[in-house]
């Protein structure tokens, strides 16, 4: 009987998909879901899986739902998702453990137009996981090799280059595992960033924000429930939709990352960190554990006047293993930053805007350390101790319950002295607004889809009416957001830039170039 019922459910789902594969849009728009397809398998709480769709119109915001074989909605995959591409659009989703195995379908709907949707083919969701999901495997580090070093049952490599590789991995893992982070805690008197106890908004504006002075704020988040509720084990029950790990493109199960943090991170060169800029939409219940701070009110941030479709992510949740950290950088778009530490201790370093680049740092064009040159710990362990006193950064150890304020234009870097949980946000207030506007214009020609230029144009439109004193003559007369189809595309600009750099660094040394050896043809 159960077999016949199963066949009936499959037939009903297939019939529903035929009848409901496309809805009727208010506007002329056809939505087609191209992934998943009939032979797709999604695994519960394993890897992330992709939903992909196309449209014939120009919709920008989407809702995505998962249906079971009965046609019932069993999960909201995404709500009010901002996504627009000329071709295929996509969203990656980690199937939560509460979803039952069986045949399912995905529905992609235009937000605000319930009749405008597309539906996928029916596919299978099942227990278990594919073999590649058994171990959390960052692409930059072969964890399978590292973990097998202590497992005598693993087959030994036979080829000479394999043996050499395993020996190198073993030495590297033993070296990092042997680092004692207590050796890198500066003394308490070493702190050169001023601490202030729960100041009023007016006091903090006068003494720190307006003059552009960094500070550590104490006793400002003692009433946050997060201070008692957020630890690595308790959060496992909440983060059931997965987390974004910095070295992976798609969400990963939190349980897998937390196991790596506990058992393997100490042996890795640059331990993977959780960095979620959308956690407040994926896990809105966690925001109940956070209180609005009078010192940094949301209505003081000019990014509130940018449309949600193009507004850059500002609030982020970060969970990081000991010895990981952040390279030297200036905050995005020259914004200011507050960083609230919920768990663990961090060692911070700051340089003022007058320092063009921190010493001993390989940099890129956007005032950020080249992340491919070395992990942050290397700078703190080997460069910082050898700097002259007048070249060292302002620094301090941030304690749980403290907020670090970093003004616009200041360089910052940190290492995690312990496993840490942090909530932080960057913003463009009155003090940093002009620097934000200049940086948006600076990056407008080098960002895909005219992203930065469009943000600037929206801010300029608001400021013309409400705060024209922030605008300069060239904001209006000399700047326009790049227009699609006019001038060079981002891809063309990037290609030409690579060619120019090659010529600058290598071309003049090639045989016959600028040497007179060959005549021009």
What are 2-60's pLDDT values in tens digits? 555 555 555 555 544 444 455 567 667 899 999 999 999 999 888 889 999 999 888 88
pLDDT given at position 26: 66
Below-50 pLDDT ranges, the chain: 15-20, 130-153, 509-521
Q: What share of the chain is helix, strand, coil (3-state, %, to 5)?
A: 35, 25, 45
The DSSP secondary-structure symbol of 237 reads G
Please list, residue by residue across 330-365, b when 16 or more beta carbons sit within 10 angstroms of its beta carbon and e when fewer do. Answer: bbbbbbbbbbbbbbbbbbbbbbeeeeeebbbbebee
- First-to-last alpha carbon distance for the chain, in angstroms, is 85
User: Are the CB atoms for 437 and 251 separated by under 8 Å?
Assistant: no
Please give the Cα distance from 252 to 243 (Å, whole number).
Answer: 5
| Beta carbons within 8 Å of 211's beta carbon, 6+ residues apart | none
pLDDT at residue 152 in the model: 41
Distances (CA, A) of 20 to 114, 120, 257, 319: 12, 10, 39, 42
Number of H helices, E strands in the chain: 12, 20
Residue 254 token pair: 């939190």
Per-residue CA distances from 152 to 135, 149, 156, 385 (Å): 18, 7, 9, 40
Helix/strand/coil (H, E, C) string of 432-466? CHHHHHHHHHHHHHHCHHHHHHHHHHHHHHHHHHH
Nearest to 300 by CA among 314, 280, 290: 314
pLDDT digits (tens, 9 = 90+) for 460-504: 999 999 999 999 888 876 666 655 555 566 667 667 777 776 666
CA 69 to chain centre: 35
- Cβ neighbors of 343 (< 8 A, separation 6 or more) are 230, 231, 232, 400, 418, 419, 420, 421
Q: Tell the CATH topology of 30-127.
A: Immunoglobulin-like (2.60.40)
Close Cβ partners of 18 (under 8 Å, ≥ 6 residues apart): none
The edge-to-edge listing of strands for the beta sheet with 336-343 is 195-197, 215-218, 403-406, 336-343, 420-427, 315-320, 274-276
Tokens 């995404």: give the residue.
78
3-state SS assignment for residue 197: strand
- The domain 183-430 is placed in CATH, from the list 2.60.120.650, 2.40.50.140, 3.10.20.600, 3.30.70.20, at 2.60.120.650
Share above pLDDT 90 across residues of the chain, in percent, rounded to a whole number: 49
- The Cα–Cα gap between 16 and 7 comes to 14
Three-state SS sequence of 201-233: HHHHHHHHHCCCCCEEEECCCCCCCHHHHCCCC
Half-sphere exposure at residue 385, Cβ-oriented, CA atoms within 13 angstroms: 9
The CA distance from 137 to 2, in Å, is 40
In whole angstroms, what is the distance from residue 401 CA to residue 224 CA?
Answer: 9
Cβ neighbors of 148 (< 8 A, separation 6 or more) are 154
Residue 477: per-residue pLDDT: 62
The residue ranges of every structural domain in the chain are: 30-127, 183-430, 436-505
Q: What is the pLDDT of residue 339?
A: 98
As given in the structure block, the two tokens for residue 230 are 């957020």
Beta-bridged to residue 109, according to DSSP, are: 63, 117
């Amino acid at each position: 009987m159960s077999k016949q019922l199963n066949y009936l459910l499959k037939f009903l789902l297939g019939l529903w998909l035929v009848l409901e594969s496309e809805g009727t849009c208010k506007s002329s728009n056809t939505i087609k879901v191209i992934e998943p397809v009939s032979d797709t398998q999604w695994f519960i709480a394993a890897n992330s899986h992709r939903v992909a769709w196309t449209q014939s119109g120009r919709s920008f915001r989407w809702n995505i739902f998962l249906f079971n074989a009965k046609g019932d909605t069993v999960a909201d995959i995404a709500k009010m998702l901002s996504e627009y591409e000329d071709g295929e659009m996509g969203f990656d989703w980690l199937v939560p453990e509460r979803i039952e195995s069986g045949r399912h379908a995905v529905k992609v709907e235009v937000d605000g137009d319930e009749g405008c949707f597309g539906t996928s083919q029916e596919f299978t969701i099942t227990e278990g996981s594919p073999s590649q999901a058994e171990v959390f495997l960052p692409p930059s580090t072969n964890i399978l090799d590292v973990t097998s070093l202590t497992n005598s049952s693993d087959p030994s490599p036979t080829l000479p280059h394999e043996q050499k590789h395993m020996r190198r991995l073993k030495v590297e893992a033993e070296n990092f595992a042997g680092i004692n982070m207590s050796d890198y805690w500066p003394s308490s008197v070493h702190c050169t960033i001023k601490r202030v106890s729960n100041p009023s908004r007016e006091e903090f504006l006068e003494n720190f924000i307006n003059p552009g002075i960094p500070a550590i704020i104490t006793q400002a988040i003692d009433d946050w429930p997060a201070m008692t509720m957020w630890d690595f084990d308790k959060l496992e029950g909440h983060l059931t939709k997965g987390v974004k790990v910095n070295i992976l493109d798609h969400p990963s199960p939190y349980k897998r990352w937390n196991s790596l943090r506990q058992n393997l991170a100490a042996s890795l060169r640059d331990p993977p960190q959780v960095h979620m800029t959308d956690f407040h939409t994926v896990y809105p219940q966690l925001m109940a554990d956070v209180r609005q701070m009078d010192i940094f009110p949301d209505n003081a941030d000019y990014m509130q006047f940018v449309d949600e479709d193009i507004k850059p992510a500002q609030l982020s949740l970060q969970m990081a293993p000991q010895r990981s950290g952040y390279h030297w950088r200036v905050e995005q778009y020259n914004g200011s930053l507050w960083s609230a530490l919920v768990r663990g201790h961090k060692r911070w370093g700051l340089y003022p805007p007058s320092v063009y680049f921190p010493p001993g740092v390989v940099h890129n064009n956007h005032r950020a350390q080249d992340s491919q040159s070395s992990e942050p710990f290397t700078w703190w362990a080997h460069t910082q101790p050898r700097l002259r006193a007048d070249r060292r950064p302002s620094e301090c150890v941030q304690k749980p319950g403290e907020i670090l304020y970093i003004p616009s234009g200041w360089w910052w870097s940190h290492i995690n002295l312990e496993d840490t949980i942090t909530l932080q946000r960057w913003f463009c207030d009155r003090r940093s607004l002009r620097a934000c506007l200049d940086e948006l214009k600076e990056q407008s020609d080098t960002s895909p889809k005219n992203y930065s230029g469009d943000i600037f144009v929206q801010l300029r439109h608001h400021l013309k009416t409400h705060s024209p004193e922030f605008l300069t003559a060239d904001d209006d007369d000399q700047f326009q957001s790049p227009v699609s189809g006019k001038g060079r595309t981002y891809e063309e600009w990037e290609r030409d830039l690579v060619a120019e750099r090659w010529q600058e660094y290598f071309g003049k040394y090639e045989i016959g170039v600028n040497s007179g050896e060959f005549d021009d043809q």
